[in-house]
Structure 1
């Protein structure tokens, strides 16, 4: 009996010590698990905020490009209606015209939007001349001497005979102290041809004219031919007179 009682006491003692150990370990493990969970949740929440913010930025709608509407007028001054500027440019290219913004247009729609007109080369040169005269009149009225203005228009495919005919006419106009405004039309890739034609003008009229305001834009060569300055023209007879006296 004593032996059995002793064995029972030993078993009870071992059971209580094991129970104490398990109870003391469980809180430690739960604490570790709770810390891991809190770290996990904090990481997830912080990342989720970043992801949501990035998603909102990426999903934002792109800004719409502003479309410019213009009032388009035909070569015969008929209103073609309101179009986008890109449509007006395509219309001018399709019909081989020049798209020119009107500065002095008095159309009712001009107050709401810009007004453009498709023009031929002749119309464009005349319109630029009109603007130049208006600017000269407002800046210095009555001071500049008015010259007779002649216009020469050709294409970059002009033949040698036609070009020589125009050059001879220009030489006669220069003798009458006329101002010649030249416009040579070509394509976007015809810059070399236009430069070659300009060189022919310079070669033919060397010493007899002044070349001003040369420019090439949108496949069009423009320049002005003026008579020689009065100083140069007055020096020529003086030099010849001196030679006669020396002889």
Structure 2
């Protein structure tokens, strides 16, 4: 099936013919096969698919945390062969340093740069305000809710001012009310920062709520089955009939 993957000459992120093969007890396992797509600057793209479709493997390859067996990934024209300084990553698990305050967790990456201390402090203060954590600067992770911890993770990912924000099911462990609120906040942050976003999720409703485009993956091996352009104004209502039509199209793609 021919797929319109949104390819353009000014793509921020390019994934070309990526495959990933692992050695298994019963022989080689093909986790990904011939995955290709591009993301334009400032675009919000979600990846959805069933378990075993290689979503997290794709996330790790794009983030430079794992090598592809075949194909290549480039960001702003640079080949991604390891963690890229222009990529901010947010995991489902919070990965915060428990001995560091909110402020210190966000500042972690900045401490390894040549930025003057005053500039680092200003940037951290701006990010704390951006993610809605004013008043919690000196709190430690153990005293924060799950949603607040994920806000810290998002602010830390933004601290180095990356062009690409890469998120792997960041709201998957949260309750429905917190998840909805953080989705709205993420869209607001995205609109204000104009970052390019690749968001991995198993939640079809979440993908339709957030994305400009949805890459629908199938499994055995993982590959792109369909690309859905979501032409709905924001904010999007889950009760809108058009929202339901997109939801059913994506769900049908996963079932297929």
TM-score, length basis structure 1: 0.29
Could you say which structure has the higher strand fraction? Answer: 2
Could you say which structure has the higher helix fraction? Answer: 1
TM-score, length basis structure 2: 0.28
The one of the two structures with greater contact order (alpha-carbon pairs below 8 A, sep at least 6) is: 2
